[in-house]
């Protein structure tokens, strides 16, 4: 399959004063794919997203979006984008409908087009009853839904979502996922950051794991799991003070081990077998759990920290 690359970055760097938030990263995003950024807090995901969205100027390096330089052709590039920032930036002085309306006007869309689109988006965001309410008075999740709906008003060909589902209830999350799948079917390119591993696994064709401004790995979700984790994981607990104490005795038994404050994760291709061996050693965990490896394990391996802090 021919892959047309929409976004290309080379040596992309962003400095805040002396502090490097993004340290010379290379990546490219293909047309029609769904591309995810993973990484602990402060990794530089939002910074990267904002540079792509042409709302933050890079310090150095190259980036082209649709073959254009965001520093030179900002307005033109942004006409192709729909952006959901990490922090909602709705217009607090306006109502729900007016927020959607004026956002469409910013793109230069005709009133008639916008009016029709608003009805569809209110429905999608489940905000029909709240249409004439001031944004200030919406709940947190409602604001989030409105921000997402707003990003769709211009029918963008690249949709950028920075932690879109934070604060959404499960139902709203599934409605969003469904919508994103449909958009993808229509050929829309998705850029997503998330701290929910299930979301990343569900939505993304390709993931880039970042930490401290650098790229740690890049592959499909299953590719990452294959490359950076074992087939299965054994989770054992010995009680908060004992975990660290017994860990030296355990380390010889498995390929790799993560000692977390509350539990120990042991990586092996057969976790049941591993548990047997532990018991043979006369160690008896308070609880134990055998499960398949997930993205979370990849994350731990690559960044040395758990996602959920």
> Which residues make up the interface to ligand ATP (CB under 6 A)?
16, 19, 21, 39, 41-47, 86
Identify residues 77-116 at the interface with Mg ion (CB under 5 A). 86
From the CB of 131, what's the least distance to ligand ATP, in Å? 31
* 86: Cβ contacts below 8 Å, ≥ 6 apart: 46, 162, 163, 166, 193
C-alpha span between 155 and 158 (Å, rounded): 9
Q: Which two tokens stand for residue 302?
A: 């690559």
| Number of chain positions touching Mg ion (CB under 5 A) | 2
Piece in contact with Mg ion (CB under 5 A), picked from 6-14, 39-47, 103-111, 118-126 = 39-47
C-alpha span between 163 and 147 (Å, rounded): 12
Count the residues in the chain: 309
From the CB of 4, what's the least distance to other proteins, in Å? 10
User: Which residue is at the shortest CB distance from Mg ion?
Assistant: 46
Kindly tell me which residue out of 46, 230, 243, 293 binds Mg ion, with binding defined by CB under 5 A. 46
Q: Which does 105 bind (CB under 5 to 8 A by kind): other proteins, ligand ATP, Mg ion, none?
A: other proteins
Phi, psi angle pair for 270, to nearest 5°:
-130, 100
Helix (H) or strand (E) holding 35: strand 34-38
- Nearer to ligand ATP by Cβ, of 52 and 118: the residue is 52
| Residue labelled with tokens 């998705």 | 190
Q: Pick the closest to residue 260 from 201, 230, 305, 293 (CA basis).
A: 305
Q: Which residues bind other proteins (CB under 8 A)?
A: 53, 55-57, 71-76, 78-81, 83, 85, 87, 89-95, 98, 101-103, 105-110, 113, 134, 154-157, 186-188
| Residue labelled with tokens 């922090």 | 87
Q: Which does 249 bind (CB under 5 to 8 A by kind): Mg ion, other proteins, ligand ATP, none?
A: none
Residues making contact with Mg ion (CB under 5 A): 46, 86
């Amino acid at each position: 399959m021919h892959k047309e690359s929409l976004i290309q970055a080379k040596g992309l760097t962003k400095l805040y004063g002396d502090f490097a938030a993004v340290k010379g990263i290379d990546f490219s995003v293909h047309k029609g794919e769904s591309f995810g950024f993973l990484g602990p807090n402060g990794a530089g995901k939002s910074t990267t997203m904002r540079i792509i969205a042409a709302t933050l100027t890079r310090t150095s390096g190259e980036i082209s979006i649709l073959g254009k330089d965001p520093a030179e052709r900002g307005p033109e590039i942004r006409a192709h984008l729909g952006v959901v920032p990490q922090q909602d930036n709705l217009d607090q002085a306006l109502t729900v409908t007016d927020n959607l309306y004026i956002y469409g006007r910013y793109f230069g869309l005709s009133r008639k087009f916008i009016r029709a689109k608003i009805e569809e988006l209110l429905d999608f965001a489940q905000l029909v009853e709240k249409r004439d309410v001031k944004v200030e008075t919406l709940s947190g999740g409602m604001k989030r839904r409105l921000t997402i709906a707003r990003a769709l008003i211009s029918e963008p060909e690249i949709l950028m979502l920075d932690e879109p589902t934070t604060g959404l209830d499960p139902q709203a999350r599934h409605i969003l996922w469904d919508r994103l799948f449909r958009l993808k079917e229509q050929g829309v390119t998705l850029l997503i950051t998330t701290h929910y591993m299930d979301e990343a696994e569900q939505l993304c064709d390709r993931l880039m794991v970042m930490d401290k401004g650098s790229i740690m790995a890049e592959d499909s979700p299953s590719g990452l799991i294959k490359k950076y984790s074992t087939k299965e994981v054994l989770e054992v607990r010995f009680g908060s003070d004992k975990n660290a104490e017994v860990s030296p005795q355990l380390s010889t038994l498995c390929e790799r081990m993560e000692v977390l404050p509350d539990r120990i994760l042991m990586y092996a291709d057969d976790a049941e077998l591993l548990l047997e061996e532990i018991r043979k050693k006369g160690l008896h965990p308070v609880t134990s759990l055998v499960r398949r490896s997930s993205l979370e394990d990849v994350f731990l391996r690559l960044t040395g920290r758990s996602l959920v802090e």
